[in-house]
Chains A and B, each alone.
Chain A
Amino acid sequence: MDDLDALKSDWLGRIGAASDEAMLEELRVAALGKKGDISLRMRELGRMTPEERQVAGPALNALKDEVNSAIAAKKAALADAALDERLRAEWLDVTLPARHRRVGTIHPVSQVTEEVTAIFADMGFTVAEGPQIETDWYNFDALNIPGHHPARAEMDTFYMHRAEGDDRPPHVLRTHTSPVQIRHMEAHGAPCRVIAPGRVYRADYDQTHTPMFHQVEGLAIDRDISMANLKWTLEEFFSAYFGTKVKTRFRASHFPFTEPSAEVDIQCSWEGGTVKVGEGDDWLEVLGSGMVHPKVLEAAGVDPSQWQGFAFGMGIDRIGMLKYGIPDLRAFFDSDLRWLRHYGFSALEVPTVHAGM
């Protein structure tokens, strides 16, 4: 049996020294091929006595197995080495920039409008829309602002040109979203809960005014809605919108379309020159509101002896500036790409009540 040991160490040595897969294949054929060294020895078993065979058989089989697995192991080792070599050659400078992908943004006005919508929808308000070029009647008369009312002159109204011979009062660019109240009640009657966000126009342009800006109107009409309900609704809204408990202060005021009327302030602090909502002792005016004037209900075909409710109008741009720390209203409409990227929102940042906003 000694020669088997020698044979084994000879073959294992040669396998271990093989430098590539081709050489390994040659060795396999030379050892285990039809005419291979070990195969020939196996053939000799036939000529042995049964006693001799009982000893030599298992020994030869073991040798064959051992050589086979040595070849397999070496083959795997060579493949690993070759892969390692390839990977070494495939080194990349991964500090190179990634392939460019354009990133789009949503304008703050759209984002804030969706935030407002999400919160009021949760309180049962639907969303109404109305035209931006409005008749004199919807924008003023129906809202209890007759022709001679000083509020008309104070509104800096844009008027549309009137063709000669057309004797109707000129149309206006709506100065507020309030005409949507009338249009909605005319179409749907009472009870109702609705908000109406959109563009409004006033002929005013300076540091803090642009001739176009955005408002959201709110209207809730039912049998017993009170100003105290309005206060609750607005506090709920502001707390959800700013993500912190916000108190409001109602101050008596006057609007032709509501009575009683109130201007509404929200609690804030002015530390370090920046405004923080929901803390501190200061107050910031954010909207006008009140109980819908019976004449307005009548104009919209709703019986004021049966129905009552509140309305409010709030600046979307303004509450957006407050929440997101945007300093200049005029920049909203300038479309400076740097501004759009800085203040814009991701397409997938859809405001919801459950995920927050």
Chain B
Amino acid sequence: MKFTLSWLKDHLETDASVEEIVETLTDLGLEVEEVEDRGARLRDFTIGRVLSAEQHPDADRLRVCQVETDEGVKQIICGAPNTREGITVVVAKPGVYVPGIDTTIGVGKIRGIESFGMMASEREMELSDEHSGIIELPSGEVGQSFTDWLAENDPSKVDPVIEIAITPNRQDALGVRGIARDLAARGLGTLKPHAPEPVKGSFPCPVKVEIAKDTLDVAPHFAGRLIRGVTNGPSPDWLQDRLRAIGLRPISALVDITNFLTYDMNRPLHVFDADKVHGTVRVHRAKGGETLEALDEKTYTFAPGHTLISDETGVESIAGIMGGEASGVTEETVNVFLESAYWDPIHTAYTGRDLKINSDARYRFERGVDPEYTLPGLEAATAMVLELCGGEPSEIVEAGAPLKTARSYPLDTKRVISLVGMEIPREEQVRILTALGFSATGTGDVLEVWVPSWRRDVQGEPDLVEEVARMASLTKLEPKPMRRPRPGVPAPVLTAGQLRERAARRTTAALGYNECVTYSFIDAAAAALFGGGGEATRLENPISSEMSHMRPALLPGLLQAAARNQARGMMDLALFEVGHAFHGGEPTEQHLQAVGLLVGQSGPRDPHGARRPVDVFDVKADAEAILAAMGAPAKTQILRGAPDWWHPGRHGMICLGPKKVLGVFGELHPRVLAAMDVKGPAMAFTLFPAEIPTPKDKSASRGAVTLPEFQSVDRDFAFVVDAGVEAGALVNAAQGADKSLIADVRVFDEFIGGSLGEGKKSIALTVHMQPTDRTLTEDEIDAVAAKIVEKVNKATGGVLRG
């Protein structure tokens, strides 16, 4: 919403400065977005006087002028027909920027004669479209700033334009008068009276109006009148200035009047050329399929229920949204039908949204105009038409009646104080409400407050509290300490799940991964590669095709991040993300993942020979460390059979039993990498924090540690097995040989092929035995060793390597 200072002063008697007004508006909830100082761009123009104007020797239409300026007499060549000796003009000297022609004036030669500046027209200074000649001022001193002259003699041309943001509840502030009322209620001046005098009609209105019965709920009141014999030319300067200042294009007096009242009183109106309206004007719901070419020159087709205004020949206007091109007024209009009506906000919003029309009228009707200003608005418009266009008014014709909006709510003045936390005396609360047009009755703490017709948004006590609070000024609110919910040291607040997520994040970063935050939506193709991309997770209105589906996993987002980094020349990457993936489109269908991705080499080339390609056992180590940090049990199984974006032979699922998958690690499928433009190979892990069982024992105690005093024994074994046998099977078998004695079994070597022959491999284990009650004898150790060999053989077919 834009308005000028002088426009505001039409409604508000005030001495307040622009700064005070701006600060107050913002505090009141009418946030000032911009104050445009329109004088600023004309600051360098000065007033001069033409001392002489001689014919240019080589050009019929140019004159060589001597112009008195603040820097002495200057020679200026000018082509304007009204250039002559003695007139007072506005001069742009060399170096001055002229906005209307987007040029900075320089010294130049015109047809061989030097010119030291320019005399400006109104259009060149963007004051109006006037360009028939240069400005002739009726007064002004040579050297005086033109901005100062305008401020003194024609302030509406340079006074500041204030733009405010309007929150959806403040339909009243969509008119300058509503803004003035707020400022007056705050004490920044006095609201001037406004009560349009009824204009007596001199003949019955020849246009008849009616509202269809089934439409009265969304169009309760329609009024109008004919004015005959008008002259519709350009509107006067003051009106054009106002409209131009707030960014509207002046069109013709009749249209400008409706625009003026739209912004002045939040009263949108419509004008029809009465000679193009045939028979009764009827307000009705669309049957569906009707069409209209509207004033924006687009043709709209209506759906059943849209509210329309039609005559005998068809649709003339979309109620409360936009008029039709055919019945619109033109310069030739002689008889005008002026419409002032009330349109239901919700219904107008639906129709406008359906038709995708954003107009000033829709914007206002859908927020709610004052239903009791329908007739006064018509009278105000009539008066303006008569003044600016002449003509003779008919009597008012009316269908329906003003919507009844009178209502009251109790307001507990004590509760206002309790909610806001500010001492606002009862009397002040009454004063504020009264100044805003409410009326308050009652003698105790609880008032009965009646709402004015222009405050449709006020629907209960909380809205009244808000009115009092904003007028009392939240800027003045003093902070008040809020005591802790319990005294003393605050209790920890994070849940087990939140702690787990935090542990995953911090541990992964500690392992050298860089955390990413990637978008929750990805493209359909990438989603499909990871088991998603279906209809359930599809966005109805994605911002682009790259963001069309909720991610089924975090890996595709990280792979895209890797591809972007590779394209920038960064090839060695360790990226991770902790966040939600979506396995469906319902609120419950999201689950947390912690995902890491390794691509490239373990590090840069170095003189130590430490650089090597990342591999599966890097991500296995990291996945195990992160699971441990999240409190996963140490004993897990490694199973295969993860989804097909993993390399079929190079991945493992970390499980507690076949159904409980805590995570997957491994190499990603080369086809997936190729599809996502990632130069592989790439190693990754995906962990599912929510799958980790919560420990039942919440005690902080760790139990007693046992530190056996008897010597431990390490024995090494090398078994030859078929190449397909997994080392894990050997370890499990060896461990089972004597569960109380064998503390640890570790694989320390793997050797494939060679002298062992095709399809064979050797796995070397070291078995750590820790007795707790005695020192082992050589015989005992041999017995355990023999059992290990037997168990491994039985489980895997492995034999001791000779």
**Residues of chain A having any CB pair with chain B under 8 Å:** 96-97, 99-107, 109-110, 114, 117, 121-127, 129, 131-135, 138, 148-151, 153-154, 158-163, 170-171, 173, 191, 193, 199, 201, 203-205, 211-212, 220, 224-229, 231-233, 235, 249-254, 256, 259-263, 291, 293-295, 308, 332-338, 340-341, 344, 346-348, 350
Contact = CB atoms under 8 A, between A and B. Distances in A.
Given A127-B495, A226-B420, A259-B465, A344 B515 contact: yes
- Top 5 closest pairs, chain A to chain B, by CB: A228-B421, A102-B512, A226-B421, A100-B603, A252-B470
B585 A251 contact: no
A131 B520 CA distance: 13
B514 A114 contact: no
A291 B419 contact: yes
Nearest to B346: A148
A112 B602 CA distance: 30
Given A131-B590, A227-B474, A235-B479, 12 more contacts: A105-B514, A117-B493, A124-B484, A149-B168, A159-B539, A170-B540, A199-B520, A229-B481, A251-B29, A253-B29, A291-B465, A350-B506
A135 B576 CA distance: 30
Nearest to B511: A104
A161 B539 contact: yes
B322 interface: no
A203 B541 contact: yes
Contacts of A225: 482
B445 interface: no
Interface of B: 26-29, 31, 167-170, 345-346, 349-350, 353, 366-367, 418-422, 460-463, 465-466, 469-470, 474-475, 477-482, 484-486, 490, 492-495, 498, 502, 505-521, 535-544, 547, 550, 558, 561, 564-565, 568, 570, 573-576, 578-580, 582, 585-590, 602-604, 606-608, 610-611
Contacts of B345: 148
Given A110-B505, A291-B419, A254 B481 contact: no
8 contacts: A110-B517, A132-B580, A150-B366, A154-B168, A212-B521, A254-B168, A260-B466, A337-B514
- Chain A binding site: helix, strand, loop or mixed by DSSP? mixed
A294 B367 CA distance: 22
Contact of A340 (B508, B516, B607): B516
A334 B518 CA distance: 7
A85 B477 CA distance: 80
Nearest to B459: A295
B510 A107 contact: no
B56 to A, nearest CB: 50
A99 B480 contact: no
Contact of B480 (A154, A158, A163, A232): A232
A228 B420 contact: yes
B567 to A, nearest CB: 11
Given A293-B462, A337-B565, A260 B28 contact: no
A133 B589 contact: yes
A116 to B, nearest CB: 12
A173 B538 CA distance: 11
Contact of A252 (B29, B463, B514, B558): B29
A158 B170 CA distance: 26
Contacts, number: 271
B580 to A, nearest CB: 6
B514 A341 contact: yes
A229 B585 contact: no
A209 to B, nearest CB: 10
Nearest to A348: B510
A193 B483 CA distance: 12
Given A107-B515, A131-B588, A263 B607 contact: no
A125 B486 CA distance: 11
Contact of B350 (A148, A334, A340, A347): A148
Contacts of B541: 158-159, 203
Given A121-B490, A251-B31, A104 B349 contact: no
Given A135-B587, A148-B346, A148-B350, A107 B517 contact: yes
Nearest to B580: A132
Contacts of A204: 543
- Which of A127, A204, A341 has the largest count of B CB atoms less than 10 A from its CB? A127
Contacts of A103: 512
Contacts of B470: 252, 260
Contact of B512 (A101, A251, A291): A101
Nearest to B353: A153
Which one of A96, A171, A228, A263 has the greatest number of beta carbons of chain B within 10 Å? A228
Given A158-B542, A260-B420, A228 B589 contact: no
B475 A250 contact: yes
Given A110-B515, A150-B366, A191-B485, A133 B475 contact: no
Interface hub of B170, B480, B537 (most chain A Cβ within 10 A):
B480
Contact of A114 (B465, B481, B502, B521): B502
A205 B535 CA distance: 24
A291 B470 CA distance: 13
Contacts of B580: 132, 199
Which of B474, B508, B578, B611 is the most central at the interface, judged by chain A CB atoms within 10 Å of its CB? B474
A134 B587 contact: yes
Contacts of A205: 543-544
B535 A126 contact: no
Given A121-B490, A199-B520, A133 B477 contact: no
A150 B505 CA distance: 40
A119 B463 CA distance: 32
Contacts of A338: 570
B180 to A, nearest CB: 17
B451 to A, nearest CB: 15
Contacts of A134: 587
Given A122-B490, A251-B29, A347 B419 contact: no
A41 to B, nearest CB: 52
Given A110-B505, A159-B540, A203-B541, A344 B510 contact: no
A347 B568 CA distance: 26
A298 to B, nearest CB: 11
A297 B582 CA distance: 30
Given A160-B538, A340-B516, A348-B510, A228 B568 contact: no
A272 B656 CA distance: 59
Contact of A231 (B27, B31, B477, B507): B477
B482 to A, nearest CB: 4
Contact of B520 (A132, A220, A262): A132
B585 A211 contact: no
Nearest to B574: A102
Contacts of B542: 158
B568 to A, nearest CB: 7
Contacts of A110: 505, 515, 517, 578
A304 to B, nearest CB: 9
Contacts of A254: 29, 167-170, 466
Contact of A133 (B167, B168, B502, B585): B585
Contacts of A341: 514
A118 to B, nearest CB: 10
A227 B477 contact: yes
Most buried by A among B420, B506, B580: B506
A106 B515 contact: yes
Given A97-B606, A148-B349, A252 B469 contact: yes
B505 A106 contact: yes
B474 A262 contact: yes
Contacts of B475: 249-251
Given A131-B588, A211-B543, A226-B418, A121 B608 contact: no
Contacts of B561: 334-335
A294 B460 CA distance: 10
Contacts of A263: 31
B520 A201 contact: yes
B168 A151 contact: yes
B802 to A, nearest CB: 39
Nearest to A294: B462
